Structure 1
């Protein structure tokens, strides 16, 4: 074996990068700040300032009309956590989170794996499943109110033809069924969003990786288990993040379909805020509920991004 000395090795060419002057760096920073200024102003006015204002209002017992004179410190927060209705609303939000993680996202992932890259008509499938997402929550709620009607609604009529002896159900008036009925509508509406995310991620997986695995003798299930799903890791984590945040602050569809009832069976933190804050003219108490919602979402988003999604932000792990 012939040994090659270090002197015989070709050294990599040295590239001298131009050194920018302090004046040029200052102009560059000024240009960046100039472009960021409009967004920063909008963020401060419409996001940061309302949050600070709500935190300030939450320290008062205030009806929203008079002056801020009755300072109660954290009494509003104590009243919230002592209210069984609010605690039930929190529990309903958590139930929606669990159902989304156990039903909606796995189902979307499985269907995305079925569609894959080669299924004929996959573009049509994506369009069909994504169409409900473009509807507003108000329109969706009104449509499904007619579907859930106990007398002649599409749901009861269909089940009566499919299941012999089926008795019509009051889907939105039964405390045991209302939250699950609304969750079914949520799946129908937002399922397509997660499906499109997963399908787009599958399209970006290199064919060479799949072909190499098949040449090595991997079965279809092994390819999905050890290659496809790990490479979808970043999108799955993003989908979970969006689903949990949306479930913690969900309002529109529930407010339209059930108004949080019956007997608070479908109450969430957002509908509770609307009822006991705006409609009851208890703005100080409502502000406290809003701060609790904001703190819950903020802490979750911060911890999730630092612990779970940090690998995606750093680019150190792809799966």
Structure 2
């Protein structure tokens, strides 16, 4: 009885939209009037041969890999440094956490101005120190737009994982660290032999959250590049948005959304199975 309100809300805002999206993926419909036409799995067949979708999925994979390779190590280093800072780290924690509290739209607009090839402070700073050759059209160059956007995503989301790692470090008994210092272990040895093994469970959770978040990322990419130029920074969510609201292909857009859901579920299932097996072996 106590769970009934929560179950009702999940059914209305999660289960019903999911079922509705799967139903719409079987239609050819522009979302206007009673013009819907049942096409079966034609949209899914089209998706299987859609090079734009597969390119967008590949960009999501790149985002996931770079998040693990750069975002998590940066967050871990910040967490370790803040843990050692003691009471003086309170202000630093607030400052480091600010990017996560800011609106993604505001951050996107801010960095579009920073990356501006003509008036942006980034190119101005490079030119001021004599590095004119490094000044680029960061968001207008297809070779640079995805990497430039990913850098902002890492900057915004690293504080979340920093807090996650800080929580993991705070759960380690202080006596363990003190005993290692008395035995003559260096800070480097303590980190690799004691702290990092203690954080393995937290690291696995952070990797899972990072991958799943990367596969359904939308806001910053949409604000900064809209998936351009020439689709170079397109991700699955921006492609779905453009298909539904720009091209008015509601049926095919629902197919893209349903495919995103299935991909995320598959990755989550594999990751959780691997995590459980690893934990059992350990």
- Name the TM-score, length of structure 2 as normaliser: 0.94
Question: Is the aligned partner of 1:279 residue 2:246?
Answer: yes
Aligned position for 2:73: 106
Report if the CA contact (8 A) 2:208-2:271 is conserved: yes
For 2:167 and 2:134, locate their aligned partners in 1 and report how far apart those are by CA, in whole Å.
42
Query: Which has the larger share of helix?
Result: 2
Q: CA deviation at 1:114?
A: 2.3
Report if the CA contact (8 A) 2:22-2:255 is conserved: yes
Aligned position for 1:192: 159
Report if the CA contact (8 A) 2:126-2:132 is conserved: no
Aligned position for 1:14: none
Report if the CA contact (8 A) 2:30-2:36 is conserved: no
Report if the CA contact (8 A) 1:251-1:268 is conserved: yes
Residues 62-141 of structure 1 aligned to structure 2 (within 5 Å): 62-67=29-34, 70-119=37-86, 121-141=88-108
Q: CA deviation at 1:99?
A: 0.6
Aligned CA distance change for structure 1 residues 165 and 137 (closer, same or farther; 3 Å):
closer
- Structure 1 residue runs without a partner (length 5+): 1-33
Larger mean CA deviation between 107-116 and 156-165 belongs to 156-165
Q: CA deviation at 1:267?
A: 0.3
Question: Is the aligned partner of 1:238 residue 2:205?
Answer: yes
Deviations 1:76-115 (A, max 9, x none): 1121121211111011000001110111111211222222
Report if the CA contact (8 A) 1:59-1:74 is conserved: yes
Report if the CA contact (8 A) 1:172-1:258 is conserved: yes
Aligned CA distance change for structure 1 residues 61 and 207 (closer, same or farther; 3 Å):
same
RMSD: 1.9
Aligned position for 1:291: 258
Aligned position for 1:306: 273
Deviations 1:113-135 (A, max 9, x none): 22224456212221111101001
Aligned CA distance change for structure 1 residues 56 and 177 (closer, same or farther; 3 Å):
same
Q: CA deviation at 1:140?
A: 0.7
Larger mean CA deviation between 154-163 and 144-153 belongs to 154-163
Residues 141-152 of structure 1 aligned to structure 2 (within 5 Å): 141-152=108-119
Q: Secondary structure, in 3 states, of the residue corresponding to 1:116? A: helix
For 1:68 and 1:227, locate their aligned partners in 2 and report how far apart those are by CA, in whole Å.
64
Q: Give the total of aligned pairs.
A: 282
- Name the TM-score, length of structure 1 as normaliser: 0.83
